[in-house]
């Protein structure tokens, strides 16, 4: 009995948050690096299904760099990176499309249904949601079919919202030339959040958030203001995979998203903790 009363108490405590968040859009980028076992994945997706059922509008964007590298290895294709971007020639693009659009995307969709939710898997190519334009590396090198998001067409997301589907998006874009482009998942999430004027953009990754010392969770920065970011980039506190995340956060904030977060996706129910508790978790990046 005592346990049941405690459970009821938790529901009552969550109520103001549920009410506050009803109807709000939250874009969640699910990092490939957080892909542990299926149980861990289900844990995250369960939170997303619950968010949808209490009236929120979650939109999922996923990564998958590690799976792509593994799949390329199996085919004897080397993974080459220039300035942090994957060199994506035609054979590599085929693997990217298969792994992101085929394997990971459909696995997430299937699990959401298994957990009682409704999801539709899309790539940025569908309904020309993500229009991509070809980019070069920072040092000016040609890196193949790698694109930046030139435009987001949210029409398909709105139609899915009417039918209460959770959109699950693989980060690929359609070029004006008709080619498929590999788009950074963090950038895609930031662009989609901005275009939807989402309330929040949340990155689920494999570390507790942005730490002053990269490998020391005790140095976690719980709040970062947008104006502090250039210095953190310049002095190397933010490096590697964190760079596109923070850039996506800045883009989203400039486009009217209220708050952006980088949190530990390996922590059970990290998303619910972030949204339905006053403390929150990880790093928030605010205007």
Ligand X SMILES: Nc1ncnc2c1ncn2[C@@H]1O[C@H](COP(=O)(O)OP(=O)(O)OP(=O)(O)O)[C@@H](O)[C@H]1O
Q: x/- binding map, residues 241-270, to Mg ion, per CB under 5 A?
A: x-----------------------------
Residue 170 interacting partner from ligand X, Mg ion, none (CB closer than 5 to 8 Å by kind): none
Kindly state the greatest CA–CA separation across the chain: 66
**Residues linked to residue 26 through DSSP beta bridges, in sequence order:** 58, 200
Contact 251, 196 (CB under 8 A): no
Please report whether residue 103 would count as binding ligand X according to CB under 6 A. Answer: no
Scanning 17-25, 30-38, 105-113, 154-162 for contacts with ligand X by CB under 6 A, the matching segment is: 30-38
Our measurement of the distance from residue 257's CA atom to the centroid of its chain's CA atoms, rounded to an integer in Å, reads 14
Our measurement of the distance from residue 108's CA atom to the centroid of its chain's CA atoms, rounded to an integer in Å, reads 13
Contact 101, 122 (CB under 8 A): no
Please report whether residue 33 would count as binding ligand X according to CB under 6 A. Answer: yes
- Alpha-carbon span 170 to 125, nearest angstrom: 9
Q: How crowded is residue 107: how many other Cβ atoms within 10 Å of its Cβ?
A: 17
Scanning 25-33, 77-85, 129-137, 175-183 for contacts with ligand X by CB under 6 A, the matching segment is: 25-33
Shortest reach from residue 203's CB to Mg ion, in Å: 9
Chain positions 184 to 213 lying near ligand X, rule: CB under 6 A, are 185, 205-207, 210-211
Please report whether residue 242 would count as binding ligand X according to CB under 6 A. Answer: yes
Closer residue to ligand X (CB): 157 or 246: 246
Exposed, middle or buried, 135 (CB in 10 Å: 0-12/13-18/19+)? middle
Shortest reach from residue 267's CB to ligand X, in Å: 13
Residues in touch with Mg ion (CB under 5 A):
241
């Amino acid at each position: 009995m005592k346990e049941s009363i405690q459970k009821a108490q938790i529901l009552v405590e969550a109520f103001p948050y549920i009410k506050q968040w009803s109807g709000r859009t939250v874009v969640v980028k699910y990092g490939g690096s957080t892909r542990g076992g299926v149980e861990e994945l289900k844990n995250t997706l369960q939170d997303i299904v619950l968010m949808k059922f209490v009236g929120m509008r979650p939109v999922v964007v996923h990564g998958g760099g590690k799976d792509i590298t593994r799949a390329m290895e199996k085919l004897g294709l080397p993974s080459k990176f220039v300035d942090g971007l994957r060199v994506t020639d035609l054979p590599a693009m085929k693997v990217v499309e298969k792994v992101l659009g085929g394997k990971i995307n459909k696995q997430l969709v299937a699990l959401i249904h298994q957990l009682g939710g409704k999801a539709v898997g899309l790539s940025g190519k569908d309904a020309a949601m993500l229009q991509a334009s070809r980019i070069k590396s920072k040092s000016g090198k040609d890196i193949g079919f790698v694109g930046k998001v030139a435009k987001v067409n949210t029409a398909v997301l709105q139609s899915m919202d009417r039918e209460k589907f959770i959109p699950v998006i693989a980060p690929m874009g359609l070029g004006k030339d008709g080619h498929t482009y590999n788009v950074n998942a963090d950038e895609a999430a930031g662009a989609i959040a901005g275009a939807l004027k989402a309330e929040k953009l949340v990155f689920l990754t494999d570390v507790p958030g942005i730490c002053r010392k990269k490998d020391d969770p005790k140095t976690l920065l719980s709040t970062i203001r947008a104006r502090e970011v250039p210095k953190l980039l310049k002095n190397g506190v933010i490096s590697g995979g964190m760079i596109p995340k923070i850039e996506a956060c800045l883009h989203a904030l400039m486009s009217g998203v209220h708050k952006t977060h980088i949190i530990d996706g390996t922590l059970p129910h990290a998303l619910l903790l972030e949204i339905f508790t006053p403390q929150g978790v990880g790093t928030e990046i605010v205007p």
